[in-house]
């Protein structure tokens, strides 16, 4: 399976940034042996879709409502993201869990809405630092998976330790391997064969200098990149550090 290198722009980016970042990605993506995805703010989805038309770079949103159209001021329906050109959506990011009080049940409802609208969800899980120090990382992540993934889940999981997001700190490779193997075991136990094929991304301070080591860890199927995805050269350097596999050779 090809690695997925996804960029989460968070609340960053104007039209000028879009042109600067997207043009080099679009030009390079076809030669890469991994899949590229960018998730800019919703305001930039439609222009990004126009700029990326005909390239191998996919587009995603950063959140969606669990509800369909209606009287929900300020909300974005999954179908609206799809209409603007998105085919993916990040859900349950730790910033939304912390700043918007999103529970596992709320994330699960959003996953169902996303899938119904034709979006592939990227569901984020990850422990706080105190939980890791307490030896609870795997238990926390397993609980989040059980609560956030609905039956029939067909997407990607991103393991993002909260303490590694935007801090420049990353877990050791052995810790990443342990958590990713636990996530794989949980996915297989719940979804059988389908769970074997689901990509599990690592996220949290992925940079060009640490990408090769993190992306070589067993069961790491790509990266969810924050800050470094706002620089086209850094983002492409991370993509080039991923194991490279041709489309034809990607298997199941």
* Binding stretches for ligand 13P (CB under 6 A): 8, 93, 160, 165-166, 203-206, 224-228
Can 129 be counted among the known catalytic residues? no
CB 165 → ligand 13P: shortest distance, Å? 4
Residue whose beta carbon is closest to ligand 13P: 226
Closest CB to ligand 13P among 32 and 39? 39
Could you tell me if 66 and 112 are in contact, meaning their C-beta atoms sit under 8 angstroms apart? yes
Cα separation, 24 vs 145, whole angstroms: 35
CB 73 → ligand 13P: shortest distance, Å? 26
Cα separation, 93 vs 95, whole angstroms: 5
Closest CB to ligand 13P among 33 and 208? 208
Closest CB to ligand 13P among 79 and 203? 203
CB 166 → ligand 13P: shortest distance, Å? 4
Q: 4-8 and 222-225 as β-strands: parallel, antiparallel, unpaired?
A: parallel
CB 189 → ligand 13P: shortest distance, Å? 26
Closest CB to ligand 13P among 79 and 226? 226
The 8-class DSSP code of residue 247 comes to: S
Q: How far is CA 13 from the centre of its chain?
A: 18
In the set 93, 102, 180, 219, the catalytic residue is 93
In the set 95, 102, 127, 160, the catalytic residue is 160
* SS3 track for 77-101: CHHHHHHCCCCEEEECCHHHHHHCC
What amino acid positions are annotated as catalytic residues? 93, 160
């Amino acid at each position: 399976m090809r690695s997925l290198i996804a960029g989460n722009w968070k609340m960053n980016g104007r039209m000028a940034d879009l042109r600067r970042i997207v043009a080099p990605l679009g030009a390079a993506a076809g030669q890469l042996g991994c899949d590229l995805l960018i998730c800019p703010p919703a305001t930039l989805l439609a222009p990004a879709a126009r700029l990326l038309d005909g390239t191998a770079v996919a587009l995603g949103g950063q959140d969606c409502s669990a509800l369909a159209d209606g009287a929900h001021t300020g909300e974005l329906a999954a179908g609206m993201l799809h209409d603007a050109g998105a085919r993916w959506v990040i859900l349950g990011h730790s910033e939304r869990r912390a700043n918007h009080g999103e529970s596992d049940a709320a994330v699960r409802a959003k996953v169902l809405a996303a899938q119904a609208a034709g979006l592939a969800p990227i569901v984020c899980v990850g422990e706080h630092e105190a939980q890791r120090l307490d030896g609870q990382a795997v238990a926390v992540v397993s609980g989040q998976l059980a609560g956030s993934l609905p039956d029939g889940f067909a997407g990607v999981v991103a393991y993002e330790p909260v303490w590694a997001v935007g801090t420049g700190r990353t877990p050791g490779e052995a810790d990443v391997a342990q958590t990713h193997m636990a996530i794989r075991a949980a996915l297989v136990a719940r979804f059988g064969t389908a769970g074997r094929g689901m990509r599990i991304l690592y996220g949290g301070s992925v940079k060009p200098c640490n990408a090769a080591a993190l992306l070589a860890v067993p069961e790491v199927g790509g990266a969810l990149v924050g800050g470094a995805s706002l620089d086209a050269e850094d983002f492409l350097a991370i993509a080039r550090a991923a194991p490279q596999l041709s489309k034809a050779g990607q298997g199941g």
